[in-house]
Structure 1
């Protein structure tokens, strides 16, 4: 066995203890945010019917930042270069800060996008970008400098996808939790111990928040949580591609978030083809439509957790398949999402839902 992997396995109990400690720390912060009561008032496009506190994601952010600072100070196996750590911390702090201000002040889409872009550029400037991309059949594609804007686009898309999907209790938080656990497991197997440990840190923060949000929503994650989780998951995927040894590691996050990315991509394309203003708020995502058609919101959230579990299993199998079998195997999560789309469409017709 690889000595680094053996050392990582020996440290596993400590890492689990750290995750549990961060979960407790996150829960304390979340309880404080419930008392603080940043209000999220109901409207026609939201699922809740009474004013509920939001910005529970502050607990997730605080726990992760505490964990990554401890990792930076005391980490051994899980270390990466100083500049990359500073890039992760700086970009994460910038993303969390502007997202929290958005929860408080309801900032315009332009301001949010500009700040997200600044966070993504900060990560790229620290070296977290993809100079190459391994593709089935083709092999390694040298992206050159084009890897920088492609990385920025990927970071922005995943960040906003998680933000858009955060409309039902437990959906975004559960998806993030299971995605982090799979990422940690896969990174640990392949010796990518920064991604392994950082994923456990984020999982700890989410684990402390989730009981307050599912099955009953005592507090919502808010933009500070959903955008931060999306940004960090995307960043972990980039870090794995840039610094880790796992083959085709860029595909790990798209596989894990297949349900989220498909829903957002499908909805965006459908609205563009319909000539709608894509910057305008709406309730036409697949998960929103099926809830409007009568499916219990808790069931919708659990189904999306299941999509993440399926993506995680597919990622594990994918990494060990012969090269010729890998491209067809990628169609499995897509086929599941297409089937889900037809089910939502049929249910919407039965419920006489007209405009999505």
Structure 2
């Protein structure tokens, strides 16, 4: 891109960040409250629905690009299903924030959105998935894609438990993904990631380090859903050496925390659909670590994953499978540290 194009893009994205901030302020005034309870970290009623600002900025950005920047041509028709599904999941999550649906209703909406994204054309991309960590997924590409979308969507929802945690992870991932995509001329991925980054940027000052509002499910599920599909969209640009694994590598800290917690609870015979305070970041907080520090640690995991992703793109193909698991190193060390702190602080039963 020319310096002039870069400047125009930055001005456009800054405008979307301001629009997002305006939407967040409106949701503070709207006043749908998240009340404290045993499994939550906050101690006073706090507005939620801050994710509405993120979704609003993303929607306006998509519409502007479609109208004035030839985005309809740039985004192949099957990506439209991805975009529409993302807004559908945000709408259902918004209703859930207001009316508090049962888990099965939320899961059904997520499955429907994921199926819509795949059946309206994302399957074309899924069949172009490259080797996943050195393993060819072959005929399992479609089931893998559905599982990935559902897991990533819920992982970002579950990890949204401390100020700035989910939003910061999303912002860092989107910034680096857009840079990787721009370098590789993967323009759909570049624009889609940059729009989400702009929307989240408008939200973060209202949520970190002191929360005036939370993003709610409407924000966390939307971010997770878009990130999940951008991972698959990235795989379509194999010729430009992007890869599906870039997004999971950058999200490793969040994905590992959720996967570790789910496996631990399953092995203990616990109900995984029941709310709890047993995630690693929650145990660290219960052991006495300040919330702002835990958030910074998870941002560090994301930055480490981004550095590993950069190396992944730079090394020859036969070295790439060795780079994919590298982002797991900090979260595994973090697990050992959290276990040590939990014992020292005598936090008791993890999942309650």
Superposition deviation, residue 136 in structure 1 = 7.4
Distance change >3 Å, CA 272–CA 55, structure 1 → 2:
same
Contact 1:158 1:230 in 2 (8 A): yes
Distance 2:8 2:341 in 1: 47
Distance 1:82 1:307 in 2: 33
Quick one: which of 123, 128, 132 aligns to 2:128? 132
What secondary structure does 1:299 align onto? Answer: helix
Corresponding position of 1:346: 340
Quick one: which of 220, 224, 237 aligns to 2:231? 237
Superposition deviation, residue 93 in structure 1 = 1.5
1:237-292 C-alpha deviation (Å, 9 max, x unpaired): 11111356343611011101000000000000000001111111001000000000
Contact 2:180 2:242 in 1 (8 A): no
Superposition deviation, residue 213 in structure 1 = 0.3
Corresponding position of 2:144: 150
Of stretches 247-256 and 32-41 in structure 1, the one that deviates more from structure 2 is 247-256
Distance change >3 Å, CA 182–CA 79, structure 1 → 2:
farther
Distance 2:114 2:87 in 1: 12
Corresponding position of 1:16: 10
Quick one: which of 43, 48, 59 aligns to 1:49? 43
1:199-240 C-alpha deviation (Å, 9 max, x unpaired): 111111101010000010000010000000000011111111
Distance 1:218 1:128 in 2: 37
TM-score (norm 1): 0.93
Corresponding position of 2:219: 225
Quick one: which of 205, 219, 225 aligns to 2:199? 205
Is residue 166 from structure 1 mapped to residue 160 from structure 2 by the alignment? Answer: yes
Corresponding position of 2:113: 119
Corresponding position of 1:3: none
Distance change >3 Å, CA 138–CA 46, structure 1 → 2:
closer
Is residue 304 from structure 1 mapped to residue 298 from structure 2 by the alignment? Answer: yes
Of stretches 327-336 and 290-299 in structure 1, the one that deviates more from structure 2 is 327-336
Contact 1:258 1:311 in 2 (8 A): yes
Distance 1:39 1:93 in 2: 22
Distance 2:113 2:237 in 1: 20
- Count of residues in Structure 1 that have an aligned counterpart in Structure 2: 348
Structure 2 unaligned regions, length at least 5: none
Contact 1:72 1:85 in 2 (8 A): no
Of stretches 245-254 and 110-119 in structure 1, the one that deviates more from structure 2 is 245-254
Corresponding position of 1:185: 179
Corresponding position of 1:40: 34
Superposition deviation, residue 138 in structure 1 = 5.3
Distance 2:254 2:137 in 1: 28
What secondary structure does 2:129 align onto? Answer: strand
Of stretches 130-139 and 117-126 in structure 1, the one that deviates more from structure 2 is 130-139
Distance 2:20 2:13 in 1: 10
Contact 1:136 1:323 in 2 (8 A): no
1:113-148 C-alpha deviation (Å, 9 max, x unpaired): 111111111111222231133237958x3624x322
Distance change >3 Å, CA 65–CA 77, structure 1 → 2:
closer
Structure 1 unaligned regions, length at least 5: 1-5
RMSD: 1.8
Contact 1:23 1:204 in 2 (8 A): yes
